A and B are shown apart, each in its own frame.
Chain A
Amino acid sequence: MAYKNMMNLVYLYLMTIGIKVIRCERLREQMYSSIEGGAACFRRLNGTHQAGCSSSLNGEVGVVQMIYNISDAQWLVHNSSAGPYMAVVSTTLYYDIIEILLRYPDNIAGILLYDNATMSPNFFTQESQCPNEYSSDPRLGQCVKPGGIVWNEKGTGLLRRDIPYPIFFLPKARIGDITKIEECYNRYNLDKDNQRGRPLCSLQLNSFMYAAVNSVVCLRRSASSAFLSSNKVCDPLGDYNVYYSLFPRAKETGASKKTVTLVTARIDSASLFDGIAPGAASSVVGLVSNIATAATLAKMIPVTDAKLYDQNVLWTLFNGEAFDYIGSQRIAYDLSRGAWPPVSPLSPSDIRLHIELGQLGGSLQLFKDSASWPIYAYAPYSSQNATAPQILEFMGEMSSYSTLNNITVSPEFTTDIPPSSLHSFRQILRNVTESGSLLEILLADHKGTFTNKFYESALDDYENIGYVYHNISIDSEGIFIPTADLLANGTMKETEAQVKIANLATTLAHTLYQQMSGKPYTGSVKASAHLVDEMLYCFLRSQACRLLLAADYASNSDELPADRPLPLYVGVAAWPSPPAVYAGHLIALLTGNHLHVNRTDCDKNADTGFSYYWLRGWNHSGICIETTMNFSQAVSPAFIKPDYDLTSGEFSSWTESVWQTIWARVFVRASGAGARLAAVTGALATAVAAILTFWLQRHSALVFIDAPSSVSSDAAGIIRTVNC
């Protein structure tokens, strides 16, 4: 490497003497080292404010300052002399110093946050202390109320704040870049008292955001510029919700209409940084529990038995919940105007019970050594006496099934309901939720303050729930090994997350069965920890997993998706993101009827109650799935309601800024000594040359006395004759 660098220098020098075997990018390579794999904080806007970060158009430049402790940060904001600075901070120190750096932004050009593999923090969350505070039902506590519960205790709220400089995040895998920066820092910047006028190791972060001010302004700018040029500056957030009913609902008429139990969970998570939103405990465990329960119940109650039941279960996965409940607000809004689901819409009174699988998984690490997993069933009513009997009945049944499955479900009667889609239902469908005709239960694994200390952050990954993949193969029929067998042969232990989630799914499925049929479940169908293992792998470790491959369209190419976890950020509405599609296909594959027909026949099917998907299937030969699964738009009502005032705060009004490039690079900033030297010598040399030339020209007759004679006059004569 050193030899190569030297060769580069040789090239450069040859260039300076007029030898031209040179390629111009070589000097750039000498000067700059780009930092790849960094994720930048970007800008989002709501109806009234902008949140997130932006750099200037050409990027912010600052002197590197490694922050190893709080006093480094204090020195940086109060005593440093060669500013502005780029603070390079590890995730362990982030919580302690971020407020200092935000309070005194004058000397700060940006922050580079890195995740240190050897020292992981105990908490790390950029969500506010009361997530979705402003779209929560004010009657349901939250920390709005004095003395209310602070849900996300360690939340710094950066996700909702306007940050005056760019912040970049380097994941664990890119720690090599930090070593590079640290080496450069140690070489140039260590003498902190004498940094002025010296070459200093510096960083440039570029994450210029096109949108500014708020959603109203940026949407207006996007619209008006469509007339002048096609430059969009922001897009509304949004994606798709997924829903699936146990029995087809399309053909139901007034009399035969079954009441439904709504079982919901959220798909999306968030983080401050682009492309990183693992959301293990924030959303994935709830999502996986929901799908596993749906798959289990579908096995317990085949679709053909629809006539035996007068109830139905509607499974719904909300998207965009991190940003003021986009998905659930839209569904509640559509319910209120009779527009959801699009085929055979429900009225709010058709829903007898809404069970939300809220934030689950945060306490899995706390109970990693025990087989138990305490779940709390929140009912948004002030006391047990004020609670509807159906809820008490449900809770009673659920806790009796839970003891059979090694988990505990404790009822919580409180109006302090944790952040969840219940808030949007209670806000938008106020008359039915208040009158008690739409009953609600929230299942979460925290009582009061979140047990998940990485809520909606870049570090809410598989390690946060202590997940270890078992990599058990799935047979060609898609049969998963029952949990009991896995425990019996020692493949899995009772303390593992997979087993606990499977137990929760079993408990809920059995409870729902009893609710529907009115009698206890006596069969042996249970959720499989093997299925949960595979699903967690798909959502937390790699998109190139068995389940998602089997659930993909067979027409898609055999190209494997990227071998990394899927970011669960909701993204912009104009651009569908994969998590909802993956979740929907998984539900279809795991719950739908597998028809034994070929592809053309599969496409010909046109039963209005179902949709038909030609998926790849377990042995990748193609399979026809008949399912009630469908997608509905998860775009906030704010963007579809005519004449809606975005500043009113009634619905989520988040938009995301457009940006062009995001990059970071490290280099050494000149002290200016070279420039001064060049200026002085340049001025001197020019002056000397000018004076000397002037002098010699003026006195040329005197100085050049022996000048060689000029051209012969003969030739001049010839030309003169020619010319004249």
Chain B
Amino acid sequence: MTLAEFFSCSLLAFGPPFAMFALTIANDPVRIIIMIAAAFGWLVSFLMSSLIWFAVSPLRSYLAFGMVFAIIMQEACRYGMYLLLRKTEAGLKEISENHEICSNKLEMAYVSGLGFGIMSGAFALINVLADSVGPGSVGLHGGTEYFFVTSAAMTLCMILLNTFWSVIFFNGLDNKNYAKIVWVIGSHFFVSGLSLLNKKELYVVTILPSYIILIITIVIAFKCAGGSSKGLIQSFTGRP
């Protein structure tokens, strides 16, 4: 029963990112390098925010404090990734065997966002997954056994959000469209802030708005990447 929990929660959290990775990234070594670099970037932000958390010892028990600095650090590292990619883009394109790479300017934003998100998701869920192998489940001191599913669902949401936030963020910086950057940082704060409500065990209140934010973010990212709904519909109708 509990091994099933472990595998199904892993599937829920990491199945969609894995599918995206397999179809879009795995076939190109340069993209893999960028993704790993982005994952490393997230780890750096992790290190810095934990240093801050550790240094400011009187505020350690206040979650909101740690949360604010963690978000700031993550966004700073996302900006760092942007700078890095924009500087190395030409070179990367050159050494790549696939010269079609970077035909879309936001392709690298998507790749690095996925790396960023997967690493944050891994760190978020791995301890929970380790405990999900059982034999027990949550519920002894209150709480429900759906804890693991909701954790996995939130992790998936955060992975996808990070992916598309990167797309919007890079595009906003490219076009000097600061509203997009405000959206990224603002929605990051909003979703994280929502999670503070979990102490009331109102999982729906957390997950539903988070996924609504995710959908909005996906739509914005789609637009940023130059996607058109008309084109999309055309691709379905098969019109030449």
Contact = CB atoms under 8 A, between A and B. Distances in A.
Task: Count chain A CB atoms within 10 A of each CB in B66, B137, B149 and give the residue with the most.
Answer: B137
Interface string B113-134: 0000000110111011011001
Interface in B98-124: 102-106, 120-121, 123-124
A711 B89 contact: yes
A723 B152 CA distance: 46
B11 A199 contact: no
Interface stretch (A146-154, A353-361, A680-688): A680-688
Contact of B148 (A11, A13, A678, A715): A678
Given A675-B1, A720-B94, A31 B137 contact: yes
B206 A13 contact: yes
A666 B140 CA distance: 8
A33 interface: yes
A384 B8 CA distance: 81
A641 interface: no
A68 interface: no
Interface string B8-30: 11111101111110111000000
Nearest to A720: B94
A705 B136 contact: no
A5 interface: yes
Nearest to A201: B140
Contact of B199 (A10, A28, A199, A695): A10
Interface residues of A, number: 80
Contacts of A703: 227-228, 231-232, 235
B104 A710 contact: yes
Interface string A8-32: 0111111111111110100110111
B104 A681 contact: no
A659 B196 CA distance: 45
A503 B173 CA distance: 100
A640 interface: no
- Which secondary structure dominates where chain A touches chain B? helix
Contacts of A686: 11, 15-16, 18-19
Nearest to B121: A18
Interface string A150-187: 00000000000000000000000000000000001000
A676 B227 contact: no
A13 B140 contact: no
Contact of B140 (A12, A668, A689): A668
Nearest to B66: A21
B231 A702 contact: yes
B127 A27 contact: yes
Given A16-B125, A668-B137, A711-B102, A679 B66 contact: no
B32 interface: no
Contacts of B154: 13, 16-17
B138 interface: yes
A10 B64 CA distance: 10
Contact of A702 (B74, B156, B234): B234
B90 interface: yes
Task: Count chain B CB atoms within 10 A of each CB in A666, A671, A679, A710 and give the residue with the most.
Answer: A710
Nearest to A709: B105
Nearest to B198: A13
Contacts of B168: none
A675 B138 contact: no
A671 B134 CA distance: 12
Contacts of A21: 50, 53, 60, 63, 66-67, 70
Contacts of A188: 139
A10 B196 CA distance: 6
Contacts of B187: none
Given A18-B121, A31-B137, A693-B20, A683 B171 contact: no
B82 to A, nearest CB: 14
Nearest to A32: B136
B192 A184 contact: no
A698 B134 CA distance: 42
Nearest to B210: A17
Contact of B104 (A18, A22, A708): A708
Contact of A61 (B50, B60, B135, B226): B135
Contact of A704 (B46, B121, B147, B226): B226
A678 B158 contact: no
B97 interface: no
B228 A706 contact: yes
A697 B232 contact: no
Contacts of A184: 140
Given A9-B143, A674-B145, A705-B226, A690 B9 contact: no
Given A667-B135, A668-B139, A20 B70 contact: yes
8 contacts: A13-B151, A31-B138, A669-B137, A670-B2, A681-B153, A686-B16, A688-B16, A694-B23
Interface of A: 2, 5-7, 9-22, 24, 27-28, 30-33, 61, 184, 188, 199, 201-202, 204, 665-679, 681-683, 685-686, 688-690, 693-700, 702-712, 715-716, 718-720, 723
Shortest Cβ-Cβ A-B pairs, 6 listed: A667-B136, A686-B15, A682-B12, A689-B16, A668-B139, A682-B11
